Amino acid sequence: MLIDTYGRVATDLRVSLTDRCNLRCTYCMPEEGLQWLAKPDLLTDDEIVRLVRIAVTRLGIREVRFTGGEPLLRPGLVGIVERCAQLEPRPKMSLTTNGIGLKRTAKALKAAGLDRVNVSLDTLRPDVFKTLTRRDRHKDVLEGLEAARDAGLTPVKVNTVLMPGLNEDEAPDLLAWAVEHDYELRFIEQMPLDAQHGWKRDGMITAGDILTSLRTRFELTEEGAGERGSAPAERWIVDGGPHRVGVIASVTRPFCAACDRTRLTADGQVRTCLFATEETDLRVALRTESPDTQAADEEIARIWKLAMWGKKAGSGLDDPSFLQPERPMSAIGG
């Protein structure tokens, strides 16, 4: 079991498969990209599957989310999903992606055992998409969303970040579109995870701003804490149902007390929080201990447990002296 000193138990594992991405979103990385991890530093497919196996069979992990960077850029993705789907107990598996490449891979991922996807899309306007991502790939994302829905990777969740002066007026249009296409829309407050360290609390679009905008067109009924559980999104029923919309208010309404996550970076580091400034290295243990032996797996599990035991009470975002993580979102896994 992965438990911390505050009694929180981690049952949800986020696995970053790569730090690379084929978009250059302004809230994530600079236009020229970043210094990517060297290939020898990345976990191999076998190492990823082994760590997931240890997490599932020894540490109580029940849900696995594959992230990036952009996880569809990982050549062995389908094989990793297929192998993890064979674990006992079988974890629920999902994928967070920008949607580019989903049209080509959705059916194969479903056949391999993936349960559902989260797709990032911040705008319905191709020109705004190009400004936000510095790439002209809006049509590819829309086609990827359709392919995921048709393949049965449902519920298809759409993650949206609203930015001042770019797409802040689109909340009602995005929700109407999501309802029409049977996607579950989730707005995410912009978080301080950009490589340029350009994030500023002043002027950000807050959860309150988003809900005010949505209520100009829709009737929203709060779902209630019992339905939410440890999920990061507060959800509202739209116009009496059945559709729902979520808001992840990481900055203005932190949900740290209910956090049930542990994170694994593409180079084998455990992060106890998305905003943590410390990491615990599992890659060294993977590569120095005898591979795939019970004693070696127990040692890796011990290191992981120790890392989680030291998890802090909160993200620190409510502290004026908040120290932004050195690694951007693309290297951590959102």
In tens, the pLDDT along 246-264 reads 999 888 777 788 899 999 9
Gap between the Cα atoms of 155 and 169, Å rounded? 25
Gap between the Cα atoms of 87 and 89, Å rounded? 6
Q: What is the pLDDT of residue 291?
A: 67
Gap between the Cα atoms of 313 and 213, Å rounded? 32
Gap between the Cα atoms of 182 and 149, Å rounded? 8
Within 10 Å of residue 312's Cβ, how many Cβ atoms?
A: 16
Q: What is the pLDDT of residue 194?
A: 47
Q: What is the pLDDT of residue 322?
A: 47
Nearest-Å Rg of the Cα atoms of the chain is 19
Q: What is the DSSP string of 110-131?
A: HHHT--EEEEE---S-HHHHHH
Q: CB–CB of 13/64 below 8 Å?
A: yes
Render pLDDT for 168-193 as a digit per residue (tens, 0 to 9): 999 999 999 999 999 999 999 886 65
**Among the residues of 39-154, which ranges form H helices?**
45-58, 77-84, 102-112, 126-133, 138-151
Q: CB–CB of 150/189 below 8 Å?
A: no
Which residues neighbour 205 within 8 Å (Cβ) at sequence distance 6 or greater? Answer: 162, 163, 164, 168, 189, 190
Gap between the Cα atoms of 17 and 108, Å rounded? 18
Q: What is the DSSP string of 200-218?
A: -STT---HHHHHHHHTTT-
Angle between helices 126-133 and 138-151 (to 10 degrees): 100
Low-confidence ranges of the chain (pLDDT < 70): 30-33, 191-203, 225-230, 289-292, 315-334
Structure tokens at 221: 């009924």
Q: What is the pLDDT of residue 186?
A: 96
Element containing residue 179 per DSSP (H, E): helix 171-181
Give the CA diameter of the chain.
Answer: 61
Question: What's phi and psi for 141, nearest 5 deg?
Answer: -65, -45
- Look at strands 63-67 and 92-97 and give their pairing: parallel
- Give residue 302's identity as a one-letter amino acid code: R
> Nearest Cα to 191, choosing from 273, 116, 125, 268?
273
Gap between the Cα atoms of 330 and 334, Å rounded? 8
Q: Is the pTM of this model over 0.75?
A: yes
Structure tokens at 174: 């995005």
Question: What's phi and psi for 266, nearest 5 deg?
Answer: -65, -20
Q: What is the pLDDT of residue 201?
A: 55
- β-pair partners for 119: 97, 158
- Give residue 181's identity as a one-letter amino acid code: H
